[in-house]
Amino acid sequence: MRFFNKSRIASIILVLSLFAAGCRSQNDESLLTPKEFQQTITATKGTAIVLDVRTPEEFVKGHLDNAINIDWNAGEEAFANQLQHVPKDKPLFVYCQGGGRSAGAVIKLQNMGFTNVQELKGGWVAWNSEFGNSAPAKNWTGMTMEDFQEKLKTDKVVLVDFNAQWCAPCQKMKPFLHEMQKEMGDKLEVIFIDTDQNPDIATLFKIEALPTLMIYKGGVKEWHHLGYMSKDDLIKQVKTHY
């Protein structure tokens, strides 16, 4: 039986640690904040391709300037076919709505051999919060801040749910939020705000992740939460504001 001495084992561990750290560093460097994303695109002096991997319906509501829409949901094969003639060293800047689809697209692009791929951290939601809608759809309407303030004029506890159709946790919560509205309607009012349908108010509230939940009482915000929450936990939270 062959044995490894302690120094050799330590050397192997060191090499593996350095390799893992290098992988993490590379991934971290390719995931850029909105400001970094904008600055890096500018630095390419027009040589980069900006890929919006959302659906066409999402794209027309607002997108980054000069972005090309290639729908990731159409399938990996269709996605790859549209990029087969692009040079592998071409700088690619990828984003979706919240970051989920772009992460998958980046992995696919890297597997295809592209060597310079950057991803927008937080996607269009984060960009819109930072800079506003770069290329908004014309004649877009939605809830105004005045409309929102009017809805807060109630003696009830107001639970605000910022959501979107593409957000899986949002859709998972929606049925029991409606149940809560019905079961606790004498003391609770639930306001549903689709951030795609109401981009202006989402920008005003600097919504960077979905779902975002807020509780208001007497027109004053008393609680703020990012991410999924179970019905039981949310009911407990709401009742603390009665």
Mean pLDDT of all residues in 165-183? 95
Within the chain, where are the H helices? 6-30, 34-43, 56-60, 76-81, 100-111, 123-131, 145-151, 168-183, 199-204, 231-239
Q: Out of 48, 67, 83, 167, which one is annotated catalytic?
A: 167
Q: Which of 86, 38, 85, 39 is nearest to 64 (CA)?
A: 38
Rounded Cα gap, residues 226 and 209, in angstroms: 7
Q: Which of 207, 102, 134 is nearest to 164 (CA)?
A: 207
Percentage with pLDDT > 90 across the chain:
60
Q: Give the CATH architecture of domain 33-131.
A: 3-Layer(aba) Sandwich (3.40)
Q: Please report which confidence band the pLDDT of residue 152 belongs to, taking 50, 70 and 90 as the band edges.
A: very high
pLDDT of residue 134: 64
Rounded Cα gap, residues 238 and 157, in angstroms: 7
pLDDT of residue 51: 95
pTM above 0.85, yes or no: no
Mean pLDDT of all residues in 108-133? 93
Let me know if domain 145-239 sits in CATH 3.40.50.300: no
If you count DSSP H runs as helices and E runs as strands, how many of each does the chain have, helices first? 10, 9
Report domain extents, the chain.
33-131, 145-239
Q: Please report which confidence band the pLDDT of residue 21 belongs to, taking 50, 70 and 90 as the band edges.
A: very low
Q: Is 96 a catalytic residue?
A: no
Sheet with 92-95: list strands edge to edge: 31-32, 117-120, 92-95, 49-52, 68-69
Q: Please report which confidence band the pLDDT of residue 146 belongs to, taking 50, 70 and 90 as the band edges.
A: confident
pLDDT of residue 140: 44
End-to-end, the C-alpha distance of the chain in Å comes to 70
Sheet with 220-226: list strands edge to edge: 188-194, 157-163, 212-217, 220-226
Q: Out of 32, 64, 170, 234, which one is annotated catalytic?
A: 170
The most confident of the ranges 2-11, 51-60, 202-211 is 51-60
CB count within 10 Å of CB 4 equals 10
pLDDT of residue 62: 87
Is it the case that residue 15 has pLDDT exceeding 60?
no
Q: Is 23 a catalytic residue?
A: no
Mean pLDDT of all residues in 141-163? 88
